[in-house]
Amino acid sequence: MLSSTIIAGLFLGLAQIPGSVAQPFISDNSTDIIITHVASDFFPNAKGDLSPFDVDVQYVGYDADTRLWLTALEPGSGTTDKEKAVLLTEAAYAKKFDESDSDMVEDVSALLAAVAGNTSSLEKRAGSSYSLSARHAINWGKCAAALSCLSGTTCRFNLNIGSAPRSRCESQGGSNCCISWSTYHVRAGFFSTTWTSCNSEVNAEKKASVSCEGHGSSAQGGDVCLSGRANGCT
């Protein structure tokens, strides 16, 4: 088991573990956990690409009850596809499914559509280099310090690019503040660039609740997302 000293200063670089169940990791100080769910494992007959719904995240700073709930959460225990989709969505948001949360409701619908092979309901990627969205939004003011640090702008972090997990979420003032990346090949500097550009756009447009995504070029390798869920902006 890795020491808490290492965990406090680094993004953890665990190798991906195949299988259909969560792979929880609890640090020595029992404050950090890593949760991994591969969506296709729960829907073996799916007709569409389920990879956008994979959960591969390090959760930091959550209360004891939330940590225990996340480690026990098992999407495969659902008896219907909808129940499995709800459980997987809960793992991505680190909270119980809420019918009044339009993002969670739309994500469950999008996952079920992908299972059926109807990907038309999935949100399409914007064409700009950086895009703001009201979907999967975070309280920017509460999350700003954490995301600035995690992006490498104000703190030093080893992202262990090329290794799992591909997301880190921190609990800040009751907000789920997540930074996630689409592939294992994102150029390190693109994290800081995404934060700086997104923060500038959010402040310029005077947004209080928003998500932001940096769309990487072939040189940058992949996208970086600042949002309220572990598996990205779209």
134: left (phi over 0), alpha (psi -120 to 50) or beta: alpha
Same domain, 200 and 94: no
Does residue 233 fall inside a structural domain? no
Residue that terminates a domain, selected from 96, 121, 146 = 121
pLDDT digits (tens, 9 = 90+) for 25-48: 334 445 789 999 999 999 999 999
Same domain, 163 and 77: no
Residue that terminates a domain, selected from 121, 145, 166 = 121
Does residue 188 fall inside a structural domain? yes
Number of domains in the chain: 2
pLDDT digits (tens, 9 = 90+) for 101-143: 999 999 999 999 999 998 754 444 444 589 999 999 999 999 9
Binned at pLDDT 50, 70 and 90, residue 17 comes out as very low
Residue that terminates a domain, selected from 71, 91, 121 = 121
194: left (phi over 0), alpha (psi -120 to 50) or beta: alpha
Same domain, 116 and 187: no
| Strand ranges across the sheet with 130-139 | 25-26, 32-37, 55-60, 167-172, 175-181, 224-227, 209-214, 130-139
Name the pTM for this structure: 0.81
Does residue 16 fall inside a structural domain? yes
SS3 letters across 6-25: HHHHCCCCECCCCCCCCCCE
Count of residues in the chain: 234
CB 46 within 8 A of CB 71: no
CB 223 within 8 A of CB 216: yes
Same domain, 96 and 177: no
pLDDT digits (tens, 9 = 90+) for 168-201: 999 988 889 999 998 878 887 898 999 999 999 9
Same domain, 38 and 18: yes
pLDDT at 128 (0 to 100): 52
Same domain, 178 and 213: yes
pLDDT at 183 (0 to 100): 83
Q: How far is CA 3 from CA 32, 77, 98, in A?
A: 11, 32, 36
Same domain, 42 and 102: yes
CB-CB neighbours of 210 under 10 Å: 21
Residue percentage of the chain with pLDDT more than 90: 60
Same domain, 65 and 35: yes
Does residue 100 fall inside a structural domain? yes
Q: Which domain holds residue 148?
A: 130-227
pLDDT digits (tens, 9 = 90+) for 61-74: 899 999 999 999 99
pLDDT higher than 70, residue 86: yes
Same domain, 192 and 134: yes
- Taking alpha carbons only, the member of 121, 59, 58 closest to residue 85 is 121
Same domain, 97 and 149: no
Does residue 44 fall inside a structural domain? yes
User: Please, what's the largest Cα pairwise distance for the chain?
Assistant: 47
Same domain, 161 and 80: no
Q: How far is CA 126 from CA 65, 191, 214, 233, in A?
A: 37, 18, 10, 11
d(CA 227, CA 234): 10
* Separation of first and last alpha carbons in the chain: 33
Same domain, 135 and 107: no
d(CA 52, CA 38): 10
Does residue 78 fall inside a structural domain? yes
